[in-house]
């Protein structure tokens, strides 16, 4: 075989049309063998002789896409010193663009014997582990371009590739649960009709299916167990050799529909687990360079993820891996942004969480990554890891405080009104002091982790028996309310109340400043039967039903109308926080928002802090959005009134006097009693218990808006 020296960068297997360059980093390897593997799993081992700056490399003409390969690394095996090289294990290329197969539950992939963990296991893992594949970088993107939506324009839809598509009868059975199913016209049309413009996919990087789950007939459904940071998960494609092409075709189809693609990425740990985990890739290549080890005992891993290990965020090799991976997904795969799982771990350069860590510095200075959507899950399981409101200015965050406060308000908890007002206004108490804007807050009520929206209003307790852990797994702090009956019921009053509650949550998100995110299936009242931790349920418990019912149709129609209202009216999606500092007083030129009691009097500090307050009305001034459009013209919108009643009884609201608007038209009503009804200034409206009413006033020519005091602008600040 004609083997040439090749080049040390880029890392991975790079096909150029005539041959492939192979490059692997290892600072501890004494020798590295490239293993080319045929259809019968016979391997040809090529000892690499070129090594520059700890990168072992070669170029082989004639090696084309589809070629299986792996590495064997010879070097120190000294766990106490942090080294675990093991030539007996065929290792995945950390930069593999495509991966074939899955890890088998075999002792051969472990470097110790199950019967005696202190004894080395030298069994060859070939045949029991995944294989790297050379992939083609060539694809006809035609005129593909990123939709480029501004943050404030986004409506995010979080979904799972299989969960969204497995039960869709319009998709051919043989492609359900794949990237091609997401690209299928029925899926795209559903998203377009709903009105979302960003699809946030749960992990699609190649991950490992946990053997202990497989033994119980379950699986790692969510996919937070990454082993390949460059490879699309092969089970979501028709063939591992075409996984890259199928993923690109999906992105292209979504872009054609003006929908951005955001990936949920797991750069905080890998699937190799703790010191008792398998040797699949990083551990056998250069364990101490990739993983954070316990300082006093390097045989064990420092773990802030709850998965057994954490990547070493001060290691140049790790930082390069993450940055190269992010750039690859943007430049080669055309994705539009990332949601970073357990992002606080990425900030742990040392033991503490530091938002100025090397990782964030690299992100901020990178000309490619700094320009895409960056969303943090701002917590991990380590000490001091809850960082909501503390990420740098380029970042948005899943706002856990928004989720908890909105849930509490609508389940009728007392003393939550002021916090609720802060969340509606964009959570300025969390973000404004650092120079951040409302787009920093990703406003969500439900996500993959926890109850669905339907189950949030149907269960007081989790029901995770199907997970096989005696209902011990999953959170016990659901902040849910079953509306009087646990689980399924035929009681029409309970069903009507649950429908209102689901709509209340959707309406609240759509009138809140920030970026709304809904979880797939919430728009059709998807249920998981009270299971709040379906991480292992790759079946109808977690999949979205596409069966049309009266409930699903009504919920879909309401969600669609609420999203359309938000997208058509910039008053609900401001780029900046409302003007004024409520602690300083003074007069503002224009009132951007006014908070009112049900009798239309302005809220006072006593109103906000009233222990039993569960009602709210606020006015949004369409003339005072406070920012120009893309052409530099002043943005002018309609005025809106939003009435909210979380009390268990009907409440009478009095509309404000005519200087706020002579007439009002109902455009959203979670009780569906007043849709398209007109009201006049000063009218009294009996608002149904636990319901929301949104009304629009189209200002007549020459009609002005009132001047208001700054004290009326914002609710009291509640620092979390």
Based on the domain organization, do 176 and 33 belong to the same domain? no
Which pLDDT score, from 0 to 100, does residue 417 have? 92
Answer for the pair 293, 313: CB distance below 8 angstroms, yes or no.
Answer: no
Return mean pLDDT, the chain. 93
User: Would the pLDDT of 631 be above 90?
Assistant: no
Which pLDDT score, from 0 to 100, does residue 358 have? 82
| CATH number of the domain within which 53 lies | 2.60.40.10
- Considering the domain boundaries, does residue 468 fall inside one? yes
Which pLDDT score, from 0 to 100, does residue 477 have? 95
Based on the domain organization, do 362 and 480 belong to the same domain? yes
Catalytic site positions: 341, 377
pLDDT tens string 373-392: 999 999 887 777 788 988 98
Q: What pTM did the predictor assign?
A: 0.95
Which pLDDT score, from 0 to 100, does residue 612 have? 77
Based on the domain organization, do 593 and 499 belong to the same domain? no
Q: Where are the alpha helices (DSSP H) in 274-399?
A: 282-290, 316-331, 343-346, 358-365
The boundaries of the domain holding residue 619 are: 584-695
CA of 360: how far to CAs of 314, 316, 381, in Å?
A: 11, 13, 20
| CATH number of the domain within which 492 lies | 3.20.20.80
User: Would the pLDDT of 221 be above 60?
Assistant: yes
Mean pLDDT lowest for which of 396-405, 465-474, 514-523, 601-610?
A: 601-610
Based on the domain organization, do 487 and 588 belong to the same domain? no
In this structure, what are the phi and psi dihedrals at residue 280, rounded to the nearest 5 degrees? Answer: -115, -35
Average of pLDDT values for 594-612?
A: 88
CB count within 10 Å of CB 672 equals 16
| DSSP conformational letter for 199 | E
Based on the domain organization, do 624 and 485 belong to the same domain? no
| CATH number of the domain within which 640 lies | 2.60.40.1180
Which pLDDT score, from 0 to 100, does residue 714 have? 55
What are the tokens at 389?
């409101």
CB count within 10 Å of CB 40 equals 6
Based on the domain organization, do 417 and 558 belong to the same domain? yes
pLDDT tens string 86-97: 999 999 999 999
Based on the domain organization, do 628 and 508 belong to the same domain? no
Mean pLDDT comparison of 428-442, 555-569, 582-596, highest-scoring range:
555-569
User: Would the pLDDT of 709 be above 60?
Assistant: no
- Considering the domain boundaries, does residue 291 fall inside one? no
pLDDT tens string 226-237: 999 999 999 999
Which pLDDT score, from 0 to 100, does residue 383 have? 77
Which pLDDT score, from 0 to 100, does residue 333 have? 98
The residue ranking higher by pLDDT, 632 or 127, is 127
Based on the domain organization, do 460 and 603 belong to the same domain? no
Rg (CA), the chain: 27
- Considering the domain boundaries, does residue 490 fall inside one? yes
Mean pLDDT comparison of 156-160, 293-297, 387-391, highest-scoring range:
156-160
Angle at alpha carbon of residue 38, lines to 33 and 40, rounded to 5°: 120
Distance from CA of residue 520 to its chain's centroid?
Answer: 12
CB count within 10 Å of CB 436 equals 23
Q: What's the CA gap between 278 and 274, in Å, rounded?
A: 9
- Considering the domain boundaries, does residue 159 fall inside one? yes
What are the tokens at 257?
């529909």
User: Would the pLDDT of 706 be above 60?
Assistant: no
Structural domains of the chain, count: 3
- Considering the domain boundaries, does residue 227 fall inside one? no
- Considering the domain boundaries, does residue 88 fall inside one? yes
CB burial of residue 719 (10 Å; 0-12, 13-18, 19+): exposed
Based on the domain organization, do 565 and 593 belong to the same domain? no
């Amino acid at each position: 075989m004609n083997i040439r020296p090749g080049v040390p960068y880029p890392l991975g297997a790079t096909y150029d049309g005539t041959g492939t360059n192979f490059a692997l980093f290892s600072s501890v390897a004494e020798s590295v063998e490239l293993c080319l593997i045929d259809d019968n799993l016979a391997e040809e081992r090529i000892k690499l002789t070129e090594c520059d700056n700890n990168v072992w490399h070669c170029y082989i003409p004639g090696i084309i896409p589809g070629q299986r390969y792996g590495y064997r690394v010879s070097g120190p095996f000294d766990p106490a010193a942090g080294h675990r090289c093991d030539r007996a294990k065929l290792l995945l290329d950390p930069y593999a663009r495509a991966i074939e197969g899955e890890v088998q539950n075999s002792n051969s992939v472990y470097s110790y014997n199950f019967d005696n963990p202190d004894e080395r296991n030298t069994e060859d893992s070939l045949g029991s582990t995944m294989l790297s594949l050379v992939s083609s970088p060539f694809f006809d993107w035609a005129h593909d371009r990123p939709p480029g939506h501004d943050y404030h324009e986004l409506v995010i839809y979080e979904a799972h590739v299989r969960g969204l598509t497995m039960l869709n009868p319009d998709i051919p059975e043989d492609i359900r649960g794949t990237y091609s199913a997401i690209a299928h016209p029925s899926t795209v049309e559903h998203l377009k009709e709903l009105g979302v413009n960003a699809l946030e996919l749960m992990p699609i990087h190649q991950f490992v299916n946990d053997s202990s789950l497989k033994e119980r007939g379950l699986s790692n459904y969510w996919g937070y167990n990454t082993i390949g940071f460059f490879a699309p998960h092969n089970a979501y494609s028709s063939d591992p050799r075409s996984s890259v092409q199928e993923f690109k075709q999906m992105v292209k189809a979504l872009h054609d529909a003006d929908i951005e693609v955001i990936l949920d990425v797991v750069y905080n740990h890998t699937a190799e687990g703790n010191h008792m985990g398998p040797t699949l890739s990083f551990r056998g290549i250069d364990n101490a360079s990739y993983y954070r080890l316990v300082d006093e005992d390097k045989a064990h891993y420092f773990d802030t993820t709850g998965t057994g290990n954490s990547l070493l965020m001060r290691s140049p090799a790790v930082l390069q891996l993450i940055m190269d991976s992010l750039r690859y997904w943007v430049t080669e795969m055309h994705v539009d942004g990332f949601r970073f799982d357990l992002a606080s771990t990425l900030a742990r350069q040392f033991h503490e969480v530091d938002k100025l860590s090397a990782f964030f510095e690299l992100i901020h200075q990178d000309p490619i990554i700094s320009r895409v959507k960056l969303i943090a899950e701002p917590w991990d399981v380590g000490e001091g890891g809850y960082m909501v409101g503390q990420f740098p200015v380029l970042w948005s965050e899943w706002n856990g405080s928004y989720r908890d406060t909105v849930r509490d308000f609508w389940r009728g908890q007392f003393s939550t009104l002021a916090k609720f007002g802060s969340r509606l206004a964009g959570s300025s108490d969390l973000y404004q002091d650092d120079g951040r804007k409302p787009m920093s807050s990703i406003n969500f009520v439900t996500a993959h982790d926890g109850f669905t929206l339907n189950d949030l209003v149907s269960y007081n307790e989790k029901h995770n028996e199907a997970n096989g852990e005696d209902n011990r797994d999953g959170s016990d702090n659901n902040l849910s309310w079953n509306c009087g009956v646990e689980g399924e019921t035929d009681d029409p009053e309970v069903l009507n109340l649950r429908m209102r509650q689901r709509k209340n949550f959707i309406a609240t998100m759509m009138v809140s400043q920030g970026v709304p995110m809904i979880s797939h299936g919430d728009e059709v009242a998807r249920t998981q039967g009270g299971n709040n931790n379906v991480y292992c349920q790759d079946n109808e418990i977690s999949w979205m039903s596409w069966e049309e019912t009266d409930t699903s149709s009504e919920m879909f129609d309401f969600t669609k109308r609420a999203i359309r209202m938000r997208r058509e009216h910039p008053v609900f999606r401001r780029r900046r926080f409302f003007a004024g500092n409520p602690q300083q007083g003074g007069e503002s030129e224009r009132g951007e928002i006014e908070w009112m009691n049900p009798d239309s009097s302005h809220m006072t500090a006593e109103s906000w802090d009233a222990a039993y307050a569960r009602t709210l009305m606020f006015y949004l001034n369409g003339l005072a959005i406070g920012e120009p459009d893309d052409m530099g013209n002043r943005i002018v919108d309609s005025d809106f009134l939003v009435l909210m009643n979380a009390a268990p009884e009907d409440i009478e609201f009095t509309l404000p006097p005519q200087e706020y608007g002579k007439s009002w038209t109902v455009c959203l009503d979670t009780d569906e009693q007043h849709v398209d009804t007109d009201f006049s200034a000063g009218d009294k409206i009996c608002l149904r218990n636990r319901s929301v009413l949104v009304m629009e006033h189209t200002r007549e020519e020459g009609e002005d808006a009132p001047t208001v005091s700054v004290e009326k602008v914002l609710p009291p600040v509640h620092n979390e």
